[in-house]
C-alpha cells in the first residue's frame, strides 16, 4: 500500500497536478483525522471545479517519513512542485480561502542569470528583502524547501523567498561563498545575514526574516562578477586542474622573452647601417 501511495503521488506530480494532500490515519484512532477527512471529502469536488485542485489522502508511514510529518492530520498544498504546510483550522471557509489565496507558489527559483536582476541585492533597490536558501539536489530532500515555501506564504507581501540550486548557479555560489548545504541568507538593504539557528522549519525561518537576523553578523553584499572576473576565475580553475599547462606556458614565455632579447642584441640598429 505504501509503495502504491508513493508511486501514485509521484505520478500525479509528474502530470503537473495541483495537489491538496491530507495526511491522516486509519479510522478511528484519531478523531481530528476523521473530521478532516469528512471536510476534505465534502470539499473535493468544489476544489476541483473552482480551483483545479486534486485532493488526495495519504496514510502510509513511508509518505509521512518522506515529508517529515509528525502530527496528524496534516495538510500539504503542492503547486508547481512547491509545497506549503497548512497550519489553520480545518474549517470550510478558512481552508478554502487559504487555498485560493496561495494558489501561486511563494518561492521563486533563481540562477546565475536571474539572481541579481530579480533580487537587486547589491543595489538594495526596489524589490525588498529576500530570504534565500542555497541547496543542491541531495542535501535538502525537499523538507527545507517545503518549510521555506510555508514561511513564504506567511511572509507574503513582507519578504520575498527564493531557492538557488547551486549545481545550476556556480557563479552565485562563489559570489556568496556558499560552503554548506543547505545555506540560508537574508538579503536586506545591501547587507546579507546568514541563518545560524539549529533547526530549519517554517517558524524559525519566519522568525529569522522578521527580526532575528539582527543577531547574525551583517556582511556587505558583494557585487556580481564582472566579465573580467569570470575570465580570471575560469583561467585560475583551469590552471588548478591542468598544472602542467601552467608550467609549459611559463617555460614558453621565458624562452620567447630570451629569444627576443637575443634577437634585439644581435640585430644592428638602423643608425649603424646608415653610417
Which of 46, 145, 61, 56 lies closest to 96 in space, CA to CA? 46
Count of residues for the chain? 275
- Residues 122-139 have pLDDT tens digits of 987 778 999 999 999 787
- Residues 215-228 have pLDDT tens digits of 999 999 999 976 55
Q: Count Cβ neighbours within 10 Å for each residue of 90-107 and write b for 16 or more, e otherwise.
A: beeeebeebbeebeebbb
Instruction: State the pTM of this model.
Output: 0.82
Q: Does residue 119 have a cis bond before it (omega within 30 degrees)?
A: no
User: Phi and psi dihedrals of 130, rounded to 5?
Assistant: -130, 125
CB 79 within 8 A of CB 103: yes
Which of 196, 176, 180 lies closest to 119 in space, CA to CA? 176
What spatial distance separates the first Cα and last Cα of the chain, rounded to whole Å? 103
Helix (H, G, I), strand (E, B) or coil at 144: helix
C-alpha atoms less than 13 angstroms from C-alpha of 184 in its C-beta half-sphere: 24
Cell of 192: 546579507
pLDDT at res. 226: 65
The structural domains of the chain, ordered by start, are: 1-101 (3.40.30.10), 107-220 (3.40.30.10)
Mean pLDDT by 10 residues, the chain (275 residues): 80 93 86 95 98 96 92 96 97 98 98 96 87 89 90 97 96 95 96 94 97 97 74 59 74 85 76 49
Amino acid at each position: 500500500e505504501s509503495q502504491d501511495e508513493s508511486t501514485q503521488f509521484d505520478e500525479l506530480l509528474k502530470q503537473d497536478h495541483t495537489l491538496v494532500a491530507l495526511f491522516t490515519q486509519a479510522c478511528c484512532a484519531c478523531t481530528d483525522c476523521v473530521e478532516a477527512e469528512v471536510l476534505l471529502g465534502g470539499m473535493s469536488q468544489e476544489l476541483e471545479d473552482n480551483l483545479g485542485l486534486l485532493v488526495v489522502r495519504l496514510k502510509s508511514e513511508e509518505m509521512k517519513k518522506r515529508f517529515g510529518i509528525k502530527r496528524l492530520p496534516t495538510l500539504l498544498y503542492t503547486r508547481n512542485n512547491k509545497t506549503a504546510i497548512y497550519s489553520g483550522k480545518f474549517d470550510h471557509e478558512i481552508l478554502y480561502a487559504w487555498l485560493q489565496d496561495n494558489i501561486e507558489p511563494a518561492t521563486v527559483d533563481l540562477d546565475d542569470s536571474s539572481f541579481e536582476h530579480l533580487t537587486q541585492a547589491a543595489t538594495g533597490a526596489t524589490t525588498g528583502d529576500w530570504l534565500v536558501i542555497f541547496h543542491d539536489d541531495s542535501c535538502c530532500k525537499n523538507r527545507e524547501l517545503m518549510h521555506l515555501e510555508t514561511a513564504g506564504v506567511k511572509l507574503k507581501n513582507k519578504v520575498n523567498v527564493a531557492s538557488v540550486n547551486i549545481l545550476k548557479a556556480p557563479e552565485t555560489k562563489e559570489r556568496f561563498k556558499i560552503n554548506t548545504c543547505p545555506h540560508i541568507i537574508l538579503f536586506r538593504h545591501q547587507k546579507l545575514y546568514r541563518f545560524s539557528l539549529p533547526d530549519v522549519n517554517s517558524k524559525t525561518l519566519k522568525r529569522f526574516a522578521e527580526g532575528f537576523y539582527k543577531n547574525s553578523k551583517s556582511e556587505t553584499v558583494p557585487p556580481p562578477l564582472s566579465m573580467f572576473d569570470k575570465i580570471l576565475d575560469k583561467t585560475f580553475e583551469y590552471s588548478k586542474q591542468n598544472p602542467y599547462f601552467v608550467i609549459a606556458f611559463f617555460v614558453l614565455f621565458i624562452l620567447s622573452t630570451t629569444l627576443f632579447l637575443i634577437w634585439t642584441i644581435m640585430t644592428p640598429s638602423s643608425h649603424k647601417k646608415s653610417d
